[in-house]
Amino acid sequence: MNKYKLVKLIEKFAPIDTQEDWDCSGWIVDNEAVLDANKIMLALTINKDIVAQAKKNNCDMIISHHPLFEVPLNYKDIQMYCAHTNLDKAKGGTTDTLIETLNLNVKFFETDDFTRYIELKEKIELKKLLKLIKKVSKNVRYINNNKKKFVKKVAICAGAGSEFIKDAEDKGYDAFITGDIKYHTADSANIILIDIGHFESEVPVLKTIKKIIENDKLEVIYAKQKTPFNYI
């Protein structure tokens, strides 16, 4: 399949001009002499192991969520493309895919840049919400400084969304689900914070990318990858 037509499918879903100013979404490696891509590897983050996997599996191209701000020379013999903050913002993108994966009983849904604000049809016990989240991430930690037992309004931002916690507090939300929550943020929180891990919160979106690009002319496989953290 023509690689530029392939990319147009992604950019129709997540327009490239919606990315943040600091972002590097788009082509990471674009060899204009190679027009077709017949086998794609999907990965959350590109590193030397992912590149080796792609070459071993005879992939023509890697599509990732996270960008590379610097590209090592030995990466440049395989096509690479990423959709980052534009995919985060897109309807049906990174956070929306996480919400769908969590299978929450949603009554009300509001979008604000990267964050999704949800009101559930019925309040749920915190411990039941945590059980739902454990199906998506085995590496869950939470903060409940005010000892709340029930949750009705939940804000969610896949990846590292700590900067939006204050907005959720100001809007009167009960809980905020994201990754990469720092100590002092947790210590001062006035709402429930649930950290499910950066990797765990974003990796479901690869299924969405596959749905966007998959067709009978293209083979799409997932990279074998996991969070870089090890847990005791």
Burial of residue 58 (number of CB atoms within 10 Å: 0-12, 13-18, 19+): exposed
What per-residue confidence (pLDDT) applies to 231?
84
pTM exceeding 0.75: yes
Query: Would you say domain 94-201 falls under CATH 3.30.2130.10?
Result: no
What per-residue confidence (pLDDT) applies to 108?
87
Residues of the chain with pLDDT under 70: none
User: Where in the chain are all domains bearing CATH 3.40.1390.30?
Assistant: 3-87, 94-201
> In terms of Cα–Cα distance, which of 104, 96, 79 is closest to 201?
96
Report residue 12 CA to chain centroid gap: 18
In the chain the beta strands, taken as DSSP E runs, fall at 26-29, 39-43, 61-64, 79-82, 106-112, 115-125, 141-143, 150-160, 175-179, 192-195, 219-222
Asked if residue 53 lies in contact with residue 72, where contact means CB atoms within 8 angstroms, the answer is no
Superfamily name with CATH number, domain 3-87: NIF3 (NGG1p interacting factor 3)-like (3.40.1390.30)
